Homo-oligomer: A and B are copies of this chain.
Amino acid sequence: MQTEFLSILKKNNLSVTESRMKILELFAQANGALAHNDIEKKSKLQFDRVTIYRTLQTFVEKGIIHTIPTADNSVLYALCKDECTQGHHNDNHVHFICDSCNVTYCLEHSNSPSVILPKGFKQNRVDVVVSGICLKCNA
């Protein structure tokens, strides 16, 4: 596990630091997406707020994590799959937010459906966010 995080950082030409390793670990442990605040709580007093902001920003730039749009103003982040590279995210999958437990899932195997746009509109990227009740809460 640790070695996996290590190779992620190496692969992206990032220095291996305690905070980066820890934050990668938190994402791996989480069964869903994390907000900045979640990370802050889970790593209580371990490192500065600013470090978390900067780490998340770096990870997004490098294509290690991606942001998930939400209707409220919270910014969520989740681990990207291998196909993501710097400057190009391949997060063309559906995100699911559970109304009950509030966990956000990346549904890797539900590809975003294509949308028919009016004439003159050129599509660049599509985000699909479904909300409802997740597998666990439904049981």
Interface residues of A (CB under 8 A from B): 67-75, 94, 96, 99, 107, 109-110, 113-135, 138-139
Q: B121, B130, B139: which contacts A123 (Cβ < 8 A)?
A: B130
Is the Cβ of A116 less than 8 Å from the Cβ of B126? Answer: no
Q: Give the number of times this chain occurs in the complex, counting copies.
A: 2
Q: B126, B131, B133: which contacts A130 (Cβ < 8 A)?
A: B126
Q: How far is the CA of A117 from the CA of B68 in the complex (A)?
A: 18
The 5 closest A-B pairs by CB, nearest first: A120-B135, A124-B132, A113-B113, A69-B69, A122-B133
Shortest C-beta distance, A97 to chain B (Å), equals: 9
Is the Cβ of B118 less than 8 Å from the Cβ of A135? Answer: yes
